[in-house]
Amino acid sequence: SAVISQKPSRDICQRGTSLTIQCQVDSQVTMMFWYRQQPGQSLTLIATANQGSEATYESGFVIDKFPISRPNLTFSTLTVSNMSPEDSSIYLCSVLGLAGGHEQFFGPGTRLTVL
């Protein structure tokens, strides 16, 4: 089965700084997504990462805060900009289209703590 990796796996950052999270899949996929899981909460979709074009953001999320890139069919990045303690969460990428299927599979997540 395909492997989805994320870097970094965890980080502790100072407020006001930015962090870029990478998501790499070892095979081509049709769609990639980014989710946020705040402490003790469920997952919320941030955006759809579109290959070669601007990401599609969900209500409550904006490009200036969460810029996303997807240069090819196997890689995407999410940047959390100008961080505050409220951004402390687990950030997960997911992919769709592995082996032509309809299931979404998730990366291991990036656990972010903002001080």
Partner 1 sequence: GIQVEQSPPDLILQEGANSTLRCNFSDSVNNLQWFHQNPWGQLINLFYIPSGTKQNGRLSATTVATERYSLLYISSSQTTDSGVYFCAAPRGGYGNKLVFGAGTILRVKS
Where does this chain bind partner 1 (CB under 8 A)? Answer: 31, 33, 37, 41-45, 48, 58, 90, 92, 94, 96, 101-106, 108-109, 111
Smallest Cα–Cα separation from 105: which of 20, 22, 33?
33
Q: 16 or 58: whose CB is closer to partner 1?
A: 58
Determine the Cα–Cα distance for residues 7 and 30; give it in Å rounded to an integer: 21
Q: From residue 40, give the alpha-carbon distance in Å to each of 36, 89, 94.
A: 12, 9, 20
Q: 68 or 109: whose CB is closer to partner 1?
A: 109
Name the 3-class secondary structure at 52: coil
Nearest distance in Å: CB 31, partner 1: 6
Nearest distance in Å: CB 58, partner 1: 7
